[in-house]
Amino acid sequence: MNIVVIGLGEVGRHLLSVLDKEGHDIVAVDSSSQAVQYAEEHYDVASIVGYGASEKLLKVSGAARADLVVAVTNHDEMNLVAALGAKQLGAKHVVARVQGTAWSEWTEGLRYGVLGVDVVINPRVLVAQELSRIARSYGASDVVDLAQDRVELVQIDLEESRALNKPLSSVELPPHTLVSAVVRDGDLFVPGGADVLVKGDRVYLIGRPEGVLAAERMFSKEREARRICIVGGGVVGKALARELLQQEATVMMIESDLATAEEISAEFQGIQVVHGDGTDGALLEEEEVGTYDLFAAVTRADEINLMAALLAQRAGCKRTATIVQRADYTSIYRQLGIDIVLSPRTVASDQILRFSRGGGLHSLTVLEDGQAEVVELTASARCRAVNKPLHRMNLPRGSLLAAIVHGDDVIIPRGKDVVQPGDRVILMTTKEARATVERLFRPRGE
């Protein structure tokens, strides 16, 4: 696939690293020759230095023939113009990222076809939506909605419970749920009936939302977060507050800039806004952060988020969440005891990567730094996997057919279930099994 990536910041580089491994023909564009040099050194891509939204550059980069053009510079307007220009030149799919407040209303996180661009992504809003889903869950550290909210994928770090230390086959999971993957000591595997879950494992549960909620209750003592403290009133903070208010939660927001704090107070009624520094331990004590169910540090500065979350932990808050711009930091945050670490970069690249696959994926969720992924696609009548029972489908080891959405009906399939043409399926595969699974679900002759 011919792909043009404009803007080589955090997201751009991450996309390059993933797309390069997948073997696409990539042209990388940035206005900084240093950024281009970096890409040139580290990835097998062609590269151009220049202003990404200029017509000349788009032509030189081959946007006209590209299957996918991604604009992820730090300038929202430039991304939109570059994407529009590429579309006009004839690019098949164009994706633009925006992150500013001004554009967040246009997008509501993710919007198709708005302003003439195929997809406009606001990763900050998407992250806020994800955080609000996590807040609603019972102790999950990540929640992804699939198949238009009919299927849910959640990540739970296991604590001591009755369901542990016995073979999975003898664990009575709630109906319509299954354990799709287990991460132990950093390695992800797809469990079988004989595998035993132990304390410290991280599991990925998948199933119908109500079933998943019941399963969360089995595995975790945590309950839905009713009282949430947010640090930072930027795009993420505001979007999160909006979502949480809809869930009728109690929200307190700490914002260091007085004008912003007042603005938020005026915009959201029912939020307690506190003007102060989120990394001020005394302030956190004074505001009794320890009594909150969830503490979410979502400023734009990674360091502030980390320190605020650690201070909140010390003040007695049991669940802490942060966002992190530099996705390399994620594992360190986890080691330091932060429960929920989300990265706008990962969210954005998940949304973008699905276009690089072809075959019309509805969604793609990358798990554990690319060790596995969950894809959602419509089974074509011409693919090998349809019209035969699951046990004859020859799914490779390390993969799992997690759900079949047939009309409004969600089936968590067993051996005899059949995928019919037009069904939406949700598949989990490790990276080793991916190619084989793709072959099974790719329409013949494509």
Residues lying near another protein in the complex (CB under 8 A): 2, 20-21, 23, 25-27, 40-46
Shortest Å distance, C-beta 83 to another protein: 20
Nearer to another protein, 14 or 124 (CB): 14
Nearest to 211 by CA among 238, 240, 157, 173: 173
Shortest Å distance, C-beta 45 to another protein: 6
Q: Which two tokens stand for residue 272?
A: 């307690």
Nearer to another protein, 22 or 159 (CB): 22
Nearer to another protein, 41 or 105 (CB): 41
Shortest Å distance, C-beta 11 to another protein: 19
Nearer to another protein, 20 or 108 (CB): 20
Cβ atoms of 266 and 241 within 8 Å: the answer is no
Shortest Å distance, C-beta 28 to another protein: 9
Nearer to another protein, 133 or 434 (CB): 434
Q: How far apart are CA 413 and CA 386, in angstroms?
A: 13
Nearer to another protein, 48 or 218 (CB): 48
Shortest Å distance, C-beta 25 to another protein: 4
Alpha helices in 315-413 (DSSP H): 330-335, 344-353
Shortest Å distance, C-beta 61 to another protein: 10
Nearer to another protein, 15 or 154 (CB): 15
Q: How far apart are CA 207 and CA 214, in angstroms?
A: 11
Running DSSP on this structure, what letter comes out for residue 218? H
Amino acid 19 reads L
Nearer to another protein, 21 or 314 (CB): 21
Q: Which phi and psi (to 5°) does residue 65 adopt?
A: -100, 5
Q: What angle do CA 290, 163, 314 make, to 5 degrees?
A: 15
Q: Which two tokens stand for residue 310?
A: 């650690």
The answer for 7, left when phi > 0, alpha when psi is -120 to 50, beta otherwise, is left
Shortest Å distance, C-beta 62 to another protein: 9
Q: How far apart are CA 169 and CA 309, in angstroms?
A: 38
Q: Please name the residues in contact with 270: beta carbons below 8 A apart, sequence gap of 6 or more.
A: 245, 251
Shortest Å distance, C-beta 23 to another protein: 7
Nearer to another protein, 20 or 368 (CB): 20
In three-state secondary structure terms, 62 is coil
Alpha helices in 8-114 (DSSP H): 10-22, 33-42, 55-60, 76-89, 101-107
Q: How far apart are CA 123 and CA 236, in angstroms?
A: 9
Shortest Å distance, C-beta 432 to another protein: 15
